[in-house]
Amino acid sequence: METIASKIHLIRGMKVMLDADPAELYGVATKALNQAVTRNEQRFPPDFMFRLAKEEKQELVTNCDRLDRLKHSSALPRVFTEQGVAMLSSVLRSERAIHVNIQIMRVFTRLRQMVLDNEELRKELEELKQITDERFQIVFETLDQLINIENKPKKKIGFTAKEKSGSYDKRKKIKL
C-alpha cells in the first residue's frame, strides 16, 4: 500500500497516478495501457483522465527524482484520477489488473480518510485555540495594565529647603 501511495500525486487539485505507474502495477507496458485507453476513450472523460501540460510535466520531473525517465520523453503522460484508475481495470481484463485495482482503490480510500481526519483535527485545534484565546485574553489585559502602570512617570520623593546666603535665596533640593 505504501508503494502505491508513493505513486499518487496531487495535480490540478486532484489525486492522480501517472500512466506508467498503473501500467507497472498491472504488469503491462505503458504503451499497451495507453493503447487500451485510446481504444476506449469514451470511458475516460476529463475528470477520469487527462494529459499533463508541459509545465506540469516539468514540475513533476523537478520535484520527483523517480520521474527522471520523463525528462527526455517527448510525449506528455496521461494521468488517471481515482475513477480513471477504477475504469482501467475494466479495459485491462486480467486477474492481476483486478487485484491491483482493488489495492489502489483501498489506498485512495485511505488517503481520503486521512484528509477527513486531518480536517476534523484542524477544526478541533481551531476550537481549542479560540477557547484558549478567550481565557488568556484576561491575562493579556492584566499584563497590559501592569505595563501601563510601570510606564507612568514617577513622582519625585523629597522636599525643597530654603537656604539664605547673602543677598539671594538658594533653593536646595534634598532627597530622602
Q: Let me know: does 47 contact 79? Beta carbons within 8 Å.
A: no
How does pLDDT run across 74-83, given as a tens digit for each residue? Answer: 788 888 988 8
Beta bridge partners of 78: 51
What are the residue boundaries of the structural domains of the chain, listed by start?
2-121
Tell me the three-class secondary structure of the chain, residue by residue. Answer: CHHHHCCEEEECCEEEEECHHHHHHHCCCHHHHHHHHHHCHHHCCCCCEEECCHHHHHHHHHHCHHHHHHCCCCCCCEEECHHHHHHHHHHCCCHHHHHHHHHHHHHHHHHHHHHHHHHHHHHHHHHHHHHHHHHHHHHHHHHHHHHHHHHCCCCCCCEEEEEEECCEEEEEEECC
Q: At what angle do helices 82-91 and 30-39 cross, to 10 degrees?
A: 90
How does pLDDT run across 102-147, given as a tens digit for each residue? Answer: 777 787 788 778 777 777 767 777 777 777 766 667 776 777 777 7
User: Where does the pLDDT of residue 16 fall: very low under 50, low under 70, confident under 90, or very high at 90 and above?
Assistant: confident
Rounded distance between C-alpha atoms, residue 32 and residue 96, angstroms: 15
pLDDT at 175 over 60: no
Residue 49: its pLDDT value, please?
92
